[in-house]
Amino acid sequence: MASKRILKELKDLQKDPPTSCSAGPVGEDIFLVNIHFPPDYPFKPPKVSFRTKVFHPNINSNGSICLDILKEQWSPALTISKVLLSICSLLTDPNPDDPLVPEIAHMYKTDRAKYESTARSWTQKYAMG
């Protein structure tokens, strides 16, 4: 069942990819992610991590992502397309109240200009674009 569902979702994603997933200070650059589907997908969430280094309060240096739908809020009704849109939304709107990197969350809350400047700098250095 998992492989049929995954193939269908990937075909749907190719046919109708999320449009203009712009992510605030990171702009039009390309960020690489790994997606691992567990054998019992869609009953368990996919494991998604960034391969590209990202300066973000909800993404740590290993690329792990703190996002509720990848954990306790997962539902089999969700698709990989919705997961990718949620990740794009998280890039645009960090959640500093549930950080993986508290230092970056603190900067986001107390010095937004420095946060955005650092995020842009990391994007120029590590993202493709």
Above 80 in pLDDT, residue 29? no
Tell me if residue 66 is catalytic: yes
What pLDDT is recorded for position 129?
Answer: 66
Average pLDDT rounded to a whole number, residues 78-107 = 95
Model confidence pTM above 0.85: yes
**Across the chain, what does the average pLDDT equal?**
91
**What residue ranges define each of the domains in the chain, with the CATH number in brackets?**
2-126 (3.10.110.10)
What pLDDT is recorded for position 20?
Answer: 59
Instruction: Out of 48, 59, 66, 67, pick the active-site residue.
Output: 66
Above 70 in pLDDT, residue 28? no
Above 70 in pLDDT, residue 24? no
How far, in Å, are 18, 36, 78, 120 from residue 12 at the CA level?
Answer: 10, 18, 13, 31
**Residues 6+ positions from 13 with CB-CB distance below 8 Å:** 80, 81, 84
Within 10 angstroms of residue 120's Cβ, the number of other Cβ atoms is: 16
